[in-house]
Amino acid sequence: MEGELLHRELTFKIRGLLYKVHNELGHYRNEQQYGDALERHLKENNIPFQREYVLPVGFAGERSGRCKVDLLIESKIILELKCVRLLSPDHYYQCQRYLQSACLDLALLINFRSNLITIRRVLNVQGYQKNKPQN
């Protein structure tokens, strides 16, 4: 259905856990600490994930292990954790690179630093262009 959110139920569960982690730890921890707390909650909720997942080589000549995502959830959604004052276009581009290398459609870019957690959905623009209907 057009307009339907990708992985709606799963992202709803993940968002709930992200808010829970932010409420528990506040906004002055580092990425690894948030990752540790999130990992615990994912395990408690039986949500399959891989932490620091190494993406496959994206092009000829690229060294293996160059790109590593913070969390890969159910082999469907990339989570990129940040603790920065403001998210920048570079963070968005990083998610785009990861999505294209992993051949996935959705990443969640999360910033724990602010008083209110920031969660941004990032879609694989290149992947959607291939599937976009031609007029």
pLDDT in tens, 102-115: 999 999 999 999 89
Is pLDDT of 133 > 70? no
pLDDT higher than 80, residue 135? no
- Which residues, in sequence order, are CB contacts of 67 under 8 Å at separation 6+? 54, 55, 58, 97, 98, 101
The pTM score is: 0.89
Interatomic CA distance for residues 67 and 52, integer angstroms: 9
Q: In this predicted structure, what is the pLDDT of residue 4? A: 81
Question: Could you read off the pLDDT of 19-52 as tens digits, one per residue?
Answer: 999 999 999 999 999 999 999 999 999 999 999 9
Digit-coded pLDDT (tens) for 87-102: 999 999 999 999 999 9
pLDDT of 1 above 70: no
Q: What's the rounded mean pLDDT across residues 3-9?
A: 88
